[in-house]
Structure 1
Amino acid sequence: MGVITLENEFAIAVAPAKLFKAYCLDTDTLLPKILPEHIKSSEIIEGNGGPGTIRKITFAGGYFSLIEANVWKDAVEKVTYEHKFMSTPEGGSICKRTSTYYIKGDAEINRDQIKDVYGKKTAGLFKAIEAYFLANPDAQI
């Protein structure tokens, strides 16, 4: 089994504690609210939100081009993500994400394509969270 590790860094104009709560703890309520065109619902199906938790995210209609391009089909056993949220002098955050892809057998996937697509999608998600809190600075999740 091969392993591919990718690192991304994202700058977000939201304080780390608020960003962590929104992105990691309150996704069930926040994501369908700020991205209804993409996410229909999100729910924990096993665990309490901590390490090992399994979350079911139901996407809105449409398809995800990377999956449709068979990058995942029969190639990836699992993916793990590690996020670190750090404060910036301006009061915002830097999120450093490490994604580890565990590849089945001799399967091959395009590292650059995954980094490009998932980097853009995650950046878009963080920008949506940022826009929500900039428009609603007193919002409680």
Structure 2
Amino acid sequence: MFKAVVIDADTLIPKIMPQAIKNVEILEGDGGVRTVKIIHFGDGTQYKSAKHRVDVIDIENLTHSYTIVEGDVLAGVFESITYHVKIVPTEDGGCICKNRSIYHTKGNVEITEEKIKEGKEKAMQMFKAVEAYL
């Protein structure tokens, strides 16, 4: 799951969810830490693109962190959004995916529970799509 969701995500997600992500373009780096990429969203979303910076890829500990630093997904409300993903293997051969999102807002903007729930649901859809594909 880690390989699919992190290592191969730039090519795999557009293949299995083209309505969500059209393609990924690396602007700087080799795919590792500090790589900067543009995510071009598919026609099934309200967004056009987002610029991501890879903060951590730790294959041994199955962790990945990245920050959205630009794009219409920030909606003029956020300075950035940071995501921390950790895959935890389970005894039955499966895994648990833990995802933490940190929203850095502009000024004193408050984020509603509804918006947070919406983001969680989109992340869950992606993980379920990858799981079904695998």
Q: TM-score range by the shorter chain?
A: 0.7 to 0.9
Aligned to 1:131: 132
Indicate yes or no: 2:49 matched with 1:47: no
The CA distance in 2 between the partners of 1:71 and 1:55, in whole Å, is: 14
Aligned to 2:53: none
The CA distance in 1 between the partners of 2:102 and 2:21, in whole Å, is: 24
Aligned to 1:81: 83
The CA distance in 1 between the partners of 2:26 and 2:125, in whole Å, is: 23
The CA distance in 1 between the partners of 2:131 and 2:24, in whole Å, is: 19
The CA distance in 2 between the partners of 1:118 and 1:44, in whole Å, is: 24
The CA distance in 2 between the partners of 1:43 and 1:71, in whole Å, is: 17
Deviations 1:7-34 (A, max 9, x none): xxxxxxxxxxxx1111111112101111
The CA distance in 1 between the partners of 2:116 and 2:111, in whole Å, is: 11
Shift of 1:71: 8.9
Aligned to 1:64: 46
Question: Aligned partner of 1:119: which letter?
Answer: K
Question: Aligned partner of 1:39: which letter?
Answer: I
Deviations 1:85-135 (A, max 9, x none): 11011211111111111111122221x1232111111110000000101xx
Larger Rg: 1
Whether the 8 Å contact between 2:88 and 2:95 is mirrored in structure 1 is yes
The CA distance in 2 between the partners of 1:49 and 1:28, in whole Å, is: 9
Alignment of 1:13-52 (within 5 A): 19-52=1-34
Question: Aligned partner of 1:98: which letter?
Answer: R
Give the fraction of aligned pairs with identical amino acids, expressed as a percent: 43
Provide structure 2 residue ranges, at least 5 long, that are not aligned to the other structure.
48-71
Bigger fraction of residues in strand: 2
Give RMSD over aligned pairs.
2.1
Indicate yes or no: 2:111 matched with 1:104: no
TM-score of the aligned structures, taking structure 2 as reference length = 0.72
Distance 1:39 1:78, change over 3 A: same
Classify the secondary structure of the residue corresponding to 2:110: coil
Provide structure 1 residue ranges, at least 5 long, that are not aligned to the other structure.
1-18, 134-141
The CA distance in 2 between the partners of 1:97 and 1:114, in whole Å, is: 16
